[in-house]
Amino acid sequence: MGPAGFDAIVSKAKAPVLVDFWAEWCAPCRMAAPHVAKTALEMAGQAVVLKVDTEAHPGLAARFQVRGIPFFAVLKGGRPVVQQAGLVGADQLQAWLRQAL
């Protein structure tokens, strides 16, 4: 997801947005992928889930001050309400999104 698409989706989103900052070479990112997919499936209609490749879009990563990956951000009204680096399970991702509803 590039900056233009990212900004368009986030600016129009009525629901909270979970952003997964990742890179293909990152083993913990690959471990997080099933948790992100499960969250997207289980929160469909209540939240938006986006993935941003930090190698392809370093400017987006810099905007959120991503220092390590995986890095997760939950946005509400376009503003971050949660930001955390490290491997996180689906239960925690969903809890963050529910808090932002």
Q: Which CATH number fits domain 3-100: 3.40.50.1110, 3.40.462.20, 3.40.50.150, 3.40.30.10?
A: 3.40.30.10
Residue 2's pLDDT is what? 81
Instruction: Please classify residue 85 by burial: count the beta carbons closer than 10 Å to its beta carbon, then call 0-12 exposed, 13-18 middle and 19+ buried.
Output: middle
Question: pLDDT band for position 4 (50/70/90)?
Answer: confident
Q: Please compute the mean of the pLDDT values over residues 26-35 and round it to a whole number.
A: 98
Q: How far apart (Å, rounded) are the C-alpha atoms in residues 2 and 82? A: 21
Instruction: Please classify residue 78 by burial: count the beta carbons closer than 10 Å to its beta carbon, then call 0-12 exposed, 13-18 middle and 19+ buried.
Output: exposed
Residue 58's pLDDT is what? 97
pLDDT tens profile 41-81: 999 999 999 999 999 999 999 999 999 999 999 999 999 99
Active site residues: 26, 29
Domain boundaries, the chain: 3-100
Residue 1 has pLDDT above 80, yes or no: no
Calculate the average pLDDT of the chain.
96
